[in-house]
Amino acid sequence: MDKEQIRLAQIEPLIDYFNQIMPLSPEEVDMVYSLFKPRLYRKRQYVHQEGDVCNQFNFVVSGCLRLYMVDDKGDVHILQFASENWWIIDLGSFHERTPSNLNIDALEDTTVLQISHENLLVLYTQAPKFNRIFRVLIENSFVSLQKRLLQNISAPAEEKYYSFLETYEHLVNRLPQTQIASFLGITPEFLSRLRNKQAHSKGKS
């Protein structure tokens, strides 16, 4: 495969994704090919750093990224993981063009397809169908975010952990416990004790 073929192969998962929400015309497919750029990030590399205006909308082709905030004490709070076929971005910073207080970095070597703010506006203007597609896409994100918030205000840590195991089954064995704890909003020590309890009750049943 030459470089061009590699590029095309990488973009396919995104085309599939869009087609699933709403089938694209050949012209729209061409626009996706020309406006989304593949990029590789190495493990631990920043995709976006706080202080900057977030300028790229990222679609993960392979690997895993995280979106997180670092508080005054230096503790990390993870808002989102994104593995294959997920979107990740600081949406507030991206749209309001204001400096972000969130970071995005790579938990594994990760390939993304990214579109800049400028090119996304081009896409919306020249292919209005993408307004509809991105509306649906964000609606889906909104619904899952709302579910997570509901869990957070209503359920104890143990229940949140089990729920996480179900929702992120495909991802669980790729993530260190510390990252999961930070996502759940509990300490790694306490998560360890929860897991221990689970192991014991499983042994008995």
Partner DNA sequence: CGCGACGTTGATTTGCCTCAACGATTGTGG
Partner DNA sequence: CCACAATCGTTGAGGCAAATCAACGTCGCG
Chain residues that interact with a second copy, rule: CB under 8 A:
69, 71, 75, 77, 79, 91-92, 95, 124, 128, 131-132, 134-136, 138-139, 141-143, 145-150, 152-154, 183-185
Determine if 185 is a binding residue for DNA (CB under 7 A). Answer: yes
Q: What is the spatial distance between Cα 16 and Cα 102, in angstroms, rounded to a whole number?
A: 29
In the complex with DNA, which residue's Cβ is closer, 154 or 205?
A: 154
Q: Which residues pair with 69 in a beta bridge?
A: 77
Our finding on whether 147 is near DNA (CB under 7 A) is no
Residue 195 contacts DNA per CB under 7 A: yes
Q: Are residues 54 and 89 in contact, defined by beta-carbon separation less than 8 angstroms?
A: yes
If we measure between CA atoms, which residue out of 102, 125, 109 comes closest to residue 61? Answer: 109
Is 72 near DNA (CB under 7 A)? no
Give the nearest distance from C-beta 149 to a second copy in angstroms.
5
Q: Are 102 and 48 in contact (CB under 8 A)?
A: yes
Name beta bridge partners: 139.
none
Helices assigned H by DSSP within 155-187: 157-167, 169-172, 177-184
Interacting residue with DNA among 4, 166, 169, 189 (CB under 7 A): 189
Nearer to a second copy, 4 or 71 (CB): 71
In the complex, least distance from residue 63 CB atom to DNA, rounded to whole angstroms = 14
